[in-house]
Amino acid sequence: MPKTSRRLKVATALLFAASSLLPLAAQPSSGPSSTVVYVGGNDLVVKSSEGKLLNFTVPSGVKFTVGGNKVGISDLKPGTKITAPIVTGFPPAIVSSVSVVKGKVYAVTPPDGVTLLLSEGVKELTVPAGTTFMVDGKQLKVSELKPDMMVEATIVTTGDASAASASATPAMAGALLVAKTASADDMPAAGTNLPLIGLVGAMMLMIGIWLRGFGRKPVRQV
């Protein structure tokens, strides 16, 4: 068998093995059951078995185990017990406080930003993908909001791992919005699959360079 053909077969096998590792980074991991507290758009807030409130931004297509069945985030309701809420590769934020508010739209920055004028002042908030607001009996996307419109929202404030977890969990009202504290830690959490994704990417790049080198014709010396 020609040497180039053997190398192509080896490279194909390596690419297949590397690509098979990627779906592992977007699946819920097994663990103790947690309780859904809030859910809106692609954001999920659960109370863990340790009593902490955790805020997840859930990638599209991820399924959760509820009573032995696999369901999507749109099927989750407050109070639902889920077996595996943790999405590997996408670490949660610790919720430090929760508040239910009514405020006036001050500014809108689509696709995921809204600034509300509240009793305590102006607050910039993140709008989870898929969120809608109820205004005068109509469901509106964030891009459809206008200044001075009145909206109701449940705001979860997230901080880093050292932040105290929220003890009060009022019933959700209006849209679920997220506020980050200045101390929020945006670095990848230890134990996630992000290093794995980087390794797979590096492998694919090296294989591509390797194959490209074999596709070049040797230059004949004159």
**Beta strands per DSSP E along the chain:** 34-40, 43-47, 53-57, 64-66, 69-71, 81-82, 93-109, 113-118, 121-126, 132-135, 138-141, 150-159, 175-180
pLDDT in tens, 193-202: 555 566 666 6
Q: Tell me the two tokens of residue 84.
A: 């595996």
Q: Which CATH number applies to 95-180: 1.10.3470, 2.40.50, 3.90.550, 3.30.160?
A: 2.40.50
Alpha helices in the chain (DSSP H): 3-21, 194-214
Q: At 35, phi and psi to the nearest 5?
A: -115, 130
pLDDT of residue 23: 45
Domains of the chain, by residue range, sit at 25-82, 95-180
Measured from the Cβ of residue 43, the count of other Cβ atoms closer than 10 Å reads 22
pLDDT in tens, 102-125: 999 999 999 999 999 999 899 999
pLDDT of residue 103: 96
Cα–Cα distances (Å) from 74 to 4, 39, 61, 68, 77, in that order, read 50, 8, 11, 17, 8
For residues 165 and 146, what is the distance between their CA atoms, to the nearest angstrom? 33
pLDDT of residue 11: 53
Q: Which of 22, 174, 189 is nearest to 98 (CA)?
A: 174
Q: Tell me the two tokens of residue 190.
A: 């230890």
pLDDT of residue 26: 45
Answer for the pair 154, 100: CB distance below 8 angstroms, yes or no.
Answer: yes
pLDDT tens for each residue of the chain, 222 residues long: 555 566 556 555 555 555 554 444 445 545 578 899 999 999 999 998 888 899 999 988 888 888 888 999 999 999 999 875 456 667 889 999 999 999 999 999 999 999 999 998 999 999 999 999 999 999 999 999 999 999 999 999 998 656 667 778 999 999 999 997 754 344 444 444 555 566 666 677 777 676 666 555 555 554
Beta bridge pairs of residue 175: 153
pLDDT of residue 13: 55
